[in-house]
Amino acid sequence: MNTQKYVDIAKTYLELAKLRVTTLVALTVVAGYYLGAKGTVDWLVLLNTIFGTILVAGGTSALNQLIEVDIDARMKRTRRRPLPTGRITTLHALAFGTGISIAGIVHLSYFVNLLTGLLSALTLITYVFFYTPMKRKSSLSTLVGAVPGALPPVGGWAAARGEVGFEAWLLFAILFLWQIPHFLAIAWLYREDYARGGLKILTVSDTQGFSTVRHIVANTFALLVVSLLPTFVGLSGKTYFVGAIVLGMLFLYAAIRVARERSNKNAKNLLLTSVLYLPALFFLMSFDKTWF
């Protein structure tokens, strides 16, 4: 029995499912569930929610790579992925992505509730069939892609409540706004690679970066304002409010530094700040949750 062969196959499929991205999606679902839960957490429902979400998120990533295999093959940061290197065939990728996506949607619909299943299906559809092809045509794809990226905590809330209220859409707004400076920081660092791949990303056409930094600063400022609203709607308390101000100001400072000097160093700093900001904000929100 060639154990290493099976280990390599498993690694290939995990890479196709983008394990790190899928884990981040699962964490935002957990935050949404916890914030939406009344009283004690139903661990069985939560575990079923996490499992179904991982399946759908992994399947979505696989289908995305299948559609973009030609782009990935041209870009330095993606050309070592499973499909461009031939480690997996397009047929196997299609079967894998479709299979676990459907399994995840069915699992969420049956073991959690129908609304959560429908939200996961909406996430997949908007990402694979709207955002992915739009990247070849318009820089507005960034805004479109932020929609499925912001839906997971709404799904977590729906899993806990069986409904989606204003608070859930507030979580959506926070994650939506966060994605813009986060993605544009990445897009600035890899703008030449995106151009090589033929993607119509803002940083490709905006060679001087003036429009890019305006979007970064505007969305980071809007995020600071919106991130304070959980306290006003009774979702979190004063500790969160103070923490959200501090985190938001640090994020905004990093954005302003990029606007003042459009360098890779400042873009990397903004990216790092964004990566630290999101889990810190959701942790504070959960820690200071106002039970209701």
Does the pLDDT value for residue 1 go beyond 60? no
The rounded distance, in Å, linking the Cα atoms of 223 and 282 is 13
Q: What is the pLDDT of residue 207?
A: 86
In the structure, what pLDDT confidence band is assigned to residue 181 with cuts at 50, 70 and 90? Answer: very high
State the average pLDDT over residues 197-223.
93
Each residue's pLDDT tens digit, 241-283: 999 999 999 999 999 999 999 999 999 999 999 999 999 999 9
HEC states along the chain? CCHHHHHHHHHHHHHHCCHHHHHHHHHHHHHHHHHHCCCCCCHHHHHHHHHHHHHHHHHHHHHHHHHCHHHHHHCCCCCCCHHHHCCCCHHHHHHHHHHHHHHHHHHHHHHCCHHHHHHHHHHHHHHHHHHHHHCCCCCCHHHHHHHHHHCHHHHHHHHHHCCCCHHHHHHHHHHHHHHHHHHHHHHHHCHHHHHHHCCCCHHHHCCCCHHHHHHHHHHHHHHHHHCCHHHHCCCECHHHHHHHHHHHHHHHHHHHHHHHCCCHHHHHHHHHHHHHHHHHHHHHHHHCECCC
Each residue's pLDDT tens digit, 45-99: 999 999 999 999 999 999 999 999 999 999 999 999 999 999 999 999 999 999 9
Q: What is the pLDDT of residue 150?
A: 97
Does the pLDDT value for residue 139 go beyond 70? yes
Question: pTM higher than 0.85 for the full model?
Answer: yes
Do residues 153 and 172 lie in contact, with contact meaning Cβ atoms separated by under 8 Å?
yes
Give the rounded percent of residues in the chain with a pLDDT score beyond 90: 90
Q: What is the pLDDT of residue 291?
A: 62
State the average pLDDT over residues 181-202.
94
177 vs 4, higher pLDDT: 177
Q: What is the pLDDT of residue 31?
A: 95
State the average pLDDT over residues 124-134.
96
Q: What is the pLDDT of residue 171?
A: 97
Tell me which amino acid residue 5 is.
K
Q: What is the pLDDT of residue 134?
A: 95
Does the pLDDT value for residue 34 go beyond 90? yes
Query: Angle at the Cα of 30 (from 105 to 100), degrees rounded to 5?
Result: 25
